Structure 1
């Protein structure tokens, strides 16, 4: 027995030695070893970039931002086979000087922000750790208003940095990291394939306009899970921007177990969509204190199809007109885009044109959605063929007054023609669509009922509307 125990002990010691040997063989590139200083004042761009490049040249490994320091940096470029690891109690901080941001986030369109942490045509890249990546967003803002910041005047060049931009990435992993205070979009994934975003906390300033959380653009096979996101603009947005049309459709996307708060739209599809967005699932999510809950906002020639939203709780209220949306918990629309003189208007339409037809939104399913809001569900399009086969099953609405903003309004921005639908608030409001089913759903009204609170369901110009077991009564004004 003693010999057997001795043999087991020797085997265990050998295993531990082997593990330690493998651990010591890992390639670790600490940015401090390349001269980085965590004093929050030194621009560490050269040290960090040297560490990234050395890691890539060595065949891959981990670039470490060590704990205990705030490492301010100008724009850095990621490389293949690199894990950018920000340790707990460490912070990467964006340089607040606008002049250092010169690389456009949208190619020749320089009117919608620059890049801070970016990579193009890279593979096997991860961003990890319990530390913080801070975009220093308020440093790029104008005057603070009641529920937003003023944007500094911009015509054709906007220096505000997007926090993380990856273009043409393969096997991308963003896990467990804390991402904060982006001045523009926080995580923008363009033309990427095989992406996991898991366990991140993304907290943008809720007053920063254009401060999206995660934007999935022309990307495929993306899994987002277990995230907490707060952002002034959309929390999670799927789109196909015209500047990157060569990357094709946005498809095969799952989002699960996420908690979101937004001043605009927590879950959004569109409005930029010049291709196809399809085969998408959002499941088991919580939306709190948002302007709009779930929004499909098609405004370009691309189509949206085969999308499922299930097991979601939504809590919405009104905010000022600075933010698109009028507290619609669910919003499904297809309207042609409004032409105008916006700073990037020339990039919104097919080359050489100033208008385009809008694509169809079809096969959209809502199941087990529980909503508390100042407004009801809105579905509408510019023709019956553009909004088709929309299903609501176990969608329960509780509509009640909670702010001083006047309701009886739905927001169609940005669309050609009238920007708002004004009149009454219905539980379900359908305008110009076909093949809509509402089953096993309900509408309840709060005790305070303004004169614009109306019907359980209001419809205009809808073909093949079917209801089954829709419970609720017309609101009666106090």
Structure 2
């Protein structure tokens, strides 16, 4: 009885909204209460529509770009009335790039697959990122991302393990053959926004980076599986870029590039933009990436990276565990980095720091812009089948300082005369096997080194709500 009363109230409210906004009848349809879905969200939504209400056809052939745009435009009217949910039902939904709105949840059924269009005209060109000064991979503009938005508040992309497939092979081939005049689009990019949740989905075959929150805050990426061939190009998993308060947890990533890459702009453009990435927690991550890092800091780090915490990480058949990538001309800083509880199998490097990562946006970088790398703490790690324990290359004019490694055991894959290679670094170590280089002075094995922060980051206190929608 209570449910029926609530339903009648919703119907009356919907009719009132219809009269006020002159919306289509389809937008006020209600379905039996048995057709419901449950989901976690930053906020539960008051209104729900299905993609099919706006002409969506899930046959794997028909373009649904206009259907997505129409559905999201409709839901934008509900921003100040509890927000709206777009339900993507079972089917194969081809689409080009489309934009999100505030107070929006997109929910993919477990048998729903969003497919990136193979028509490049459905990925319009947009301006380069201001902190990069140009397209990341080519001068000038860049292709839109498949799912994108800017200047938004409270956006959720979730589902019951539904799939977003970028169909990236076309883009990888064009990039390898030098046929692209502009930078590839990403699978999901959200800019200048606050309160973002991306959860419980499969992301496969992205044209380039998979998840790119940029110039944003309060970002949660949770329960995501990311899959791309390990031979694919630039298919980074999750790239927080000039973001504050980020939580990445319970994700599984197989990639042709870094599983996590933390960034903040490129050379003088990142320095001038001046928006660091800070207060990031990464936990319970599994990574497979034979040619790249589990977690990379940089190479675009010119706006600064600070207070990154990583814990309970598994790396398998991966080039390196934690890699810092920077160079003269980058400027900026990487500091207060804390990592613990790593388990690693078949690694080429465990620790890798590079002060000579020489790619530049253009010829206008400042040769006197020396990056600062300081207070990098690693502890409580085990690794097997390791080729090189550590390759730590600082910068002569700006040594990397405060490097601390404690309670780490690495079983070498083969006999190495030089398991460590260290230049221009300063730090300390204790209980590390094989014994580190002399610049990481061995301390009293009973000393307490490399502390991991005991406090919680603000984003860790964000609790998701359990929501139910009956009208999809």
Match of 1:274 in 2: 302
Deviation per CA, 1:268-293, whole angstroms, max 9, x where unpaired?
10111112111110011111111122
Q: Distance in 1 between matches of 2:127 and 2:215?
A: 13
Question: Is 1:330 paired with 2:368?
Answer: no
Match of 2:107 in 1: 85
Quick check: 304-313 or 97-106, which moved more? 97-106
Q: After the TM superposition, which residues 454-469 of structure 1 pair with which residues of structure 2 at under 5 Å, given as runs? A: 456-459=435-438, 462=439, 465-469=441-445
Change (3 A) 1:247 1:168: farther
Instruction: Answer whether contact 1:298 1:358 (CA < 8 A) is retained.
Output: no
RMSD: 2.5
Instruction: Answer whether contact 2:370 2:398 (CA < 8 A) is retained.
Output: no
Choose from 360, 383, 394 the match for 1:371.
383
Q: After the TM superposition, which residues 401-440 of structure 1 pair with which residues of structure 2 at under 5 Å, given as runs? A: 401=414, 424-426=417-419, 428-434=420-426, 436-440=427-431
Change (3 A) 1:356 1:79: farther
Change (3 A) 1:200 1:111: closer
What are the ranges of 5 or more consecutive residues in structure 1 without an aligned counterpart? 1-12, 144-149, 318-326, 340-344, 402-406, 409-423, 444-455, 471-478
Match of 1:95 in 2: 117
Question: Is 1:62 paired with 2:93?
Answer: no
Please state whether the residue corresponding to 1:184 is helix, strand or coil: coil
Choose from 129, 148, 151 the match for 2:176.
151
Choose from 253, 257, 271 the match for 1:233.
257
Q: Distance in 2 between matches of 1:18 and 1:125?
A: 30
Q: How many residues are paired up?
A: 394
Q: Distance in 2 between matches of 1:155 and 1:90?
A: 30
Note the C-alpha offset of 1:354: 6.5
Instruction: Answer whether contact 1:70 1:92 (CA < 8 A) is retained.
Output: yes
Q: Distance in 1 between matches of 2:179 and 2:365?
A: 23
Q: Distance in 1 between matches of 2:260 and 2:10?
A: 37
Please state whether the residue corresponding to 1:233 is helix, strand or coil: coil
Deviation per CA, 1:326-382, whole angstroms, max 9, x where unpaired?
x211112334x536xxxxx4x256xx3464533111111101011221221122211
Instruction: Answer whether contact 2:274 2:303 (CA < 8 A) is retained.
Output: no
Match of 2:280 in 1: 253
Please state whether the residue corresponding to 1:241 is helix, strand or coil: coil
Question: Is 1:178 paired with 2:202?
Answer: yes
Please state whether the residue corresponding to 2:358 is helix, strand or coil: coil
What are the ranges of 5 or more consecutive residues in structure 2 without an aligned counterpart? 15-45, 447-472
Match of 2:24 in 1: none
Note the C-alpha offset of 1:298: 2.2
Note the C-alpha offset of 1:222: 0.5
Note the C-alpha offset of 1:18: 6.1
Match of 1:446 in 2: none
Please state whether the residue corresponding to 2:261 is helix, strand or coil: strand
Please state whether the residue corresponding to 2:258 is helix, strand or coil: coil
Instruction: Answer whether contact 1:334 1:360 (CA < 8 A) is retained.
Output: no
Q: After the TM superposition, which residues 111-190 of structure 1 pair with which residues of structure 2 at under 5 Å, given as runs? A: 112=137, 113-114=142-143, 115-130=145-160, 131-142=162-173, 151-154=176-179, 156-158=181-183, 160-190=184-214
Q: Distance in 2 between matches of 1:260 and 1:391?
A: 24
Q: Distance in 1 between matches of 2:378 and 2:9?
A: 49
Match of 2:96 in 1: 74
Please state whether the residue corresponding to 1:139 is helix, strand or coil: helix
When normalised by structure 1's length, the TM-score is 0.77
Question: Is 1:381 paired with 2:397?
Answer: no
Q: Distance in 2 between matches of 1:111 and 1:306?
A: 27
Q: Distance in 1 between matches of 2:180 and 2:60?
A: 32
Q: Distance in 2 between matches of 1:20 and 1:152?
A: 57
Report which structure shows greater RCO (CA 8 Å, sep ≥6): 2
